[in-house]
A and B are shown apart, each in its own frame.
Chain A
Amino acid sequence: MVLSDTYSDARRTLVERPAVVLLGLVIGYLLVDLAAKLAGTTVDVAGVQLLGGSTAVSQVARYVLDGLIVGLVIGLAGVGLSMTYSILSFANFAHGDYITTGAFSGWFAAYLVAFVTLNVDAPFGNVFLVNAPSLVSVVNAPLAVLIGLVASGVLTVAVVLFLDRIVYKPMRDKGGIPLLIASIGVALALRYAIVFVFGTGTRGVTETGSIPSVDIPVVDGYVPLNAHEVTLIVAAVSLMFGVHFLLQRTKLGKAMRAMADNKDLAQVTGIPTERVVRTTWIIGGGLAGIAGFLIVLERGTLNYNIGWRLLLLIFSGVILGGIGSVYGAIGGGIVIGIASRLSLVWIPSDFARVVAFAVMILVLLYRPSGLFGGVKTA
């Protein structure tokens, strides 16, 4: 009985969803291949190498750690994108440039603090425009990093609220598509306003020489983890717990979840919807800004495109997790981060982003409610 059910289920899947079966086979092949690579064996058939090879376990561990770090940033920024999607009902394409705003405003503040606290011999104008190379690290200027972190959140919130007031609020009832198109305009305007002030050049901002780093022993080698990466992980995870606490335990957080569920009912229940919208922007914008500051802290370089390039990965993560769900955005972001880095086992890094989008398209095709679908909102 049970066996025949299983058999007919499997048969139905095979016939009705060949692409799912194919996908399963590909994933299965990759897993076997990875296992073979880690074991250092190859399987040859008629002189053609079918699978296997040689990849160090520590190398794979490094990919996973890198992916986790990127994934935390994607997840952190994705929280805001997902919240604005569910509460304001539109996909905000300007969200990536909120990240850029946070990166520039945070590092601007960090540089100003560093100029005061460190003995900087660069001209003030260069410091002011974040052009003096590689000044700050958590070791030589922890205060600058801390203030930069706070400033990235606060200044981004200010910009985000201003943009809401002049662009989105007057359009609140116009529907998702006009808002989406407006957000693309906002994205470009914001990006080139940043370019106007800071220019298009990529600059190194972190002082990398003195950052302490630990080597975590793994089977056949070491995975290095430096202080900036630890800072990023601690800050991102703390903020995620903060969001969780806010949504589950506070009255305003519950009202946000309620409004994400059902705007009309929230209104007739007496929930002050505009206040909830403002809070959504504050949290979403603040997290995006801080994510921008943190990713620059980890990568060490800053340019005007950083948020826009992340945005597409963030969309992948949010869609993967089920758009509208905050926990889905975090989980989806981490999966996308790890998948795109782990793919380096098989493909060159130039193609790593392709993996993220392939995952996104597959999810859209076969599981549009997201991997964690059904567990809606917050």
Chain B
Amino acid sequence: MSSDDEGAVVDGSEQDTPEAATVSGQQAATDTGNPFTTATDSLLQVSGLDAGYGDLQILEGVDLNVEAGEYVTVVGPNGAGKSTVMKSIFGLTTLMGGRVEFGGADITGEKPEDVIHLGLGYVPQSDNIFPSLSVLENLEMGAYILDEVPQEQLEAVFDRFPILEERKGQTAGNLSGGQQQMLAMGRALMLDPDLLLLDEPSAGLAPDLVDDMFDRIDRINDGGTAILMVEQNAKEALRRCDRGYVLVQGENRFMDRGTALLNDEQVRREFLGG
């Protein structure tokens, strides 16, 4: 990781007040008029998002974008609202303000069943498979909105996760934790989405499986699918992504290239444990 140190532009240490948005690196140079947005015509464009559950507001003016093929992570302390960002994009929260655009279409507050065919896939953090269905049936459900199960895509998922093909007839609930996570991703990939939302893919995995999971996500991204990932495992996530956001108390605090955030003094001190 020391090799990254030189490449990173570190200016967060000059900021004294954590409230001030700290933006650095090459991405920030793009002139969008918003310190948290690298382009105005991205694949996913979230602007000024206020959202929560019922009367409880969690997100306050979150700006975020993901460009086509990009790998973006959102890190931050517990309760920062990371998962809420994901759910809000997918229309699963109470929206109080702001705008969500995907592929140029306004999807603010749209129901999941109306969004999914646009090319947006979502893997929730837990309970992300249908345990009593077989592995194959889980994957078929992923393509429910299509008239026929897309055999090519099914093959592609099996190529990516060969264990799923071996166990396709088994009841999904009997798979191991890592295999269930693969199945959840496979299910979301059945529609070959342009953007995959991953909510804490490493949660609940045995430590020796975490690296493997991140490798697989890298490969999904290499295939051209943009990734927006929320992770508790911040260091590893930032090391692997193109760009990262640090979310604190429902607000953006930092945005930069992942390696730059990793080396940012203030980010390290406050959010990465030194």
Interface 9-residue window, one of A3-11, A135-143, A269-277: A269-277
Choose one: B113, B122, B127, B140; the contact of A272 (CB below 8 Å).
B113
Shortest CB distance B251–A (Å): 25
Contact B127 A271 (CB under 8 A): no
Kindly supply a per-residue 1/0 record for chain A positions 251-269, scoring 1 wherever the CB is within 8 Å of any chain B CB and 0 otherwise.
1001101101110111111
Residues of B within 8 Å of A255, CB to CB, are 141, 144
Contact A269 B92 (CB under 8 A): no
Contact B144 A251 (CB under 8 A): yes
Within 8 Å of chain A (Cβ to Cβ): is B257? no
Shortest CB distance A160–B (Å): 24
Shortest CB distance B84–A (Å): 14
Within 8 Å of chain B (Cβ to Cβ): is A378? yes
Contact A254 B132 (CB under 8 A): no
Within 8 Å of chain A (Cβ to Cβ): is B112? yes
Contact A269 B144 (CB under 8 A): yes
Dominant secondary structure at the A interface: helix
Within 8 Å of chain A (Cβ to Cβ): is B187? yes
Given contacts A254-B137, A257-B130, A261-B130, contact A268 B144 (CB under 8 A): no
Instruction: State the interface size on chain B (CB cutoff 8 A).
Output: 26
- Chain A residues numbered 230-269 whose CB sits less than 8 Å from any CB in chain B: 251, 254-255, 257-258, 260-262, 264-269
Within 8 Å of chain A (Cβ to Cβ): is B117? yes
**Nearest CB to that of B92 among chain A residues?**
A268
Contact B145 A270 (CB under 8 A): yes
Contact A258 B133 (CB under 8 A): yes
Contact A268 B130 (CB under 8 A): no
Within 8 Å of chain A (Cβ to Cβ): is B102? no
Kindly supply a per-residue 1/0 record for chain B positions 105-121, scoring 1 wherever the CB is within 8 Å of any chain A CB and 0 otherwise.
00000011100110000
Contact A376 B132 (CB under 8 A): yes
Shortest CB distance B57–A (Å): 20
Contact A254 B116 (CB under 8 A): no
CB<8 Å pairs between A and B, sample of 24:
A251-B140, A254-B137, A254-B140, A254-B141, A258-B133, A261-B132, A262-B127, A262-B129, A265-B129, A266-B141, A267-B112, A267-B113, A268-B92, A268-B112, A269-B116, A270-B112, A270-B113, A270-B117, A270-B144, A270-B191, A271-B113, A271-B144, A273-B113, A376-B132
